[in-house]
Chain A
Amino acid sequence: MDYSTFLIQSLNAIQYGLLLFLVASGLSLIFGIMGVINLAHGSFYMIGAYLAFGLAPIVSDIFGGGFIATLVFGVIASAVFGYLLEWAFFSYLYTRDHLQQVLMTYGLILVFEEIRSLLIGDEVHGVKPPTWLEGSIPLTDVMVYPTYRLFISAMCIALAIGMYLVFTKTKLGMMIRAGSVNREMTQSLGINIKFLYRVVFAAGVAIAAFAGMVAAPVSSVYPGMGGGILIICFVVVVIGGIGSIKGALVASLLIGFVDTFGKVALPEAAGVLVYVLMAVILLWKPNGLFKAGT
């Protein structure tokens, strides 16, 4: 493999890994802080992608906005949706055991998929990237790298930095971290833990949906896209460690590289390699690479 191909594949790997990180970090957080395992998390990614598809014409017709405006609207809409979903459904799951959480959120996946099917149908849709990002950057004499993919990576990095800053530097972040370590104590200190959980959940949903929106032009919008990314996110969480953001980042990038280069080196085994990686890490560290709360 020559240098330019290696560079391009690495860019691909990083882009895929960063996107995974966004979705997986939400899943990890929700579990780490609220103790709820949410199988429907992949559905939020799908909802984001369908929002990108569905909102774009509305935003441009009514508000005259473009891609960025659609993103903003989508994020707000999904945050509100997440807030309401927590209030109506997820808050009842905190006291239930894991099996019940698994099954109820599995039922939720089915409900989401069918509602999507009823509202928008089952066709596969493409989403156009904004015209100002449509070009490509020439890398070799034959190959160009789409600018939009660089944009995705940039957005993911920005969001990741934003999350890090909120967690470590703000009061809200401090409350969240406190709540994850000891719920009752935090509550007795006068912090409204219910409201806190709702905010965290809404944020998790919004981040996953944002990932879906941003990825839509690249991955297309199709039924079942939620299930696919959910399982890989589970692998990320298992490898990285539940409740650890650093772990999610490291694991996502690791998976991005293994998957991308695996497809090139061993196309037949490509799908399996990620799980082999997981098996190997499990042998070495059954609780993941990093501890919760890092």
Chain B
Amino acid sequence: MKNKPSFFFILFFAFLLVMPFLGNDYSNDWVVKTIIFSIFAVSLELLVGTTGLICFGQAAFFGVGAYATVLLTSQFPDSSVWFLVGSSIFSAAVLALFIGALSLRTKGVYFIMVTLAFAQMVYYVIHDTPLGGGTDGIYLSSKPMLFLDYGLSNSTVFYFFTVACLFASLVFLGVLLRSRFGHALVGIRINENRMSAVGYDTYFYKLTVFVISGGIAGLAGFLYAIKDGFVNPELLSWHHSGAVLIMIILGGLGHLRGAVIGAFAFALLEEIFRSEALFGPLSKHWHLGLGLAIILCVALLPKGLISIPSQWRIRLMGPSGSAGVSESINGEKS
């Protein structure tokens, strides 16, 4: 099937548009939360899957976007939603510029450690200084209006607004990845030395994608702050950064739809492992199941869930039947 991405996304968005009428309050909450995490995951996929930059601090941008929303709402109570969205994205992007400029001076393992450390630094700034309101978090005083009488405090309006944000992010990234800029990123992932030898300023490209990725994570943070009406420093914890990394590996690196699938799969795994119906008293220790699932997934399914169809195809029809070959040569697919 040539147009896998489009097919998947058509189906996916149809499902999302229909869900509010099928589900109840709780399932809608769950879907909205997972869509927000999909946006978060997609932002990281841009860094890890496309450009090969393993950032272990993405939660910092998410958290800053969320906190910016709450802090600005209390300072400017009647601000428009576009002002808030813009400011969240902007503040996250500025932070990404600062962290990226310093971290991108390092490579490989150092980069992983440094991004983790910087995210931790932002966590402490929010956790300990008066800027962030302390360990217990702060409240969103009001949710912004969208147009006419409809505001984001209306959960149905908010649901569709979130879906629209996911759609917009995916379209934006799809276009970005098909552009020359996007191809340059893939080139950097495959062989950075060659790219710079050919004349690309790889540092500039990496920094730019880092900032874009941070901004999108900030958007996810904005949505999360509106959804819960409450932000807390734990949003910036490294466990959160770890979780989103797991999501994109679970789904499959190198594909935008992998990030989305991964976010949903991770959320489902969490529901399953936390379910008392299935695990009884062990459900308290759901991290155990999650940890084992992560280890098994990375060990057995390194290309993620998205590779399952092609793996089955290989098993059934033999190696010549694999569509996976063309995928890996082209590098990035949506």
Contacts and interface: CB of A to CB of B under 8 A. Distances in A.
A246 B54 CA distance: 28
A238 B113 contact: yes
A287 B113 CA distance: 12
B113 A103 contact: no
Contact of B109 (A98, A103, A115, A231): A98
A287 B242 CA distance: 24
Contact of A110 (B120, B291, B302): B291
B291 A109 contact: yes
A114 B294 contact: no
A103 B294 contact: yes
B249 interface: yes
B64 to A, nearest CB: 15
Interface stretch (A152-160, A167-175, A277-285): A277-285
Interface stretch (B1-9, B124-132, B147-155, B221-229): B124-132
A222 B244 CA distance: 26
Contacts of B294: 103-104, 106-107, 110
Contacts of A287: 106, 110
B290 A110 contact: yes
A115 B108 CA distance: 31
Given A104-B299, A108-B295, A269-B128, A237 B113 contact: yes
A242 B130 CA distance: 35
Interface in A237-259: 237-238, 242
A272 B291 contact: no
A106 B287 CA distance: 11
B246 A103 contact: yes
Contacts of B292: 107, 111
Contacts of A98: 54, 108-109, 112
A100 B295 contact: no
A275 interface: yes
Contacts of A283: 102, 105
A104 B288 CA distance: 13
A242 B106 CA distance: 12
B117 A107 contact: no
A57 interface: no
A137 B304 CA distance: 59
Interface string A178-202: 0000000000000000000000000
A262 to B, nearest CB: 11
A92 interface: yes
Given A268-B129, A269-B129, A107 B124 contact: no
Nearest to B291: A110
Given A234-B117, A269-B128, A270-B128, A103 B287 contact: no
B118 interface: yes
B246 A268 contact: no
Contact of A238 (B110, B128, B288, B293): B110
B54 A99 contact: yes
A117 interface: yes
A286 interface: yes
B272 to A, nearest CB: 15
Interface of B: 48, 54, 56, 102-103, 105-106, 108-110, 112-114, 116-118, 120-121, 124-125, 127-130, 238-239, 242, 245-246, 249, 285, 287-288, 290-295, 298-299, 302
Interface of A: 31, 37, 92, 98-100, 102-104, 106-111, 113-115, 117-118, 227, 231, 234-235, 237-238, 242, 268-272, 275-276, 278-279, 282-283, 286-288
The 3 tightest CB contacts between A and B, nearest first, are: A110-B291, A275-B121, A107-B294
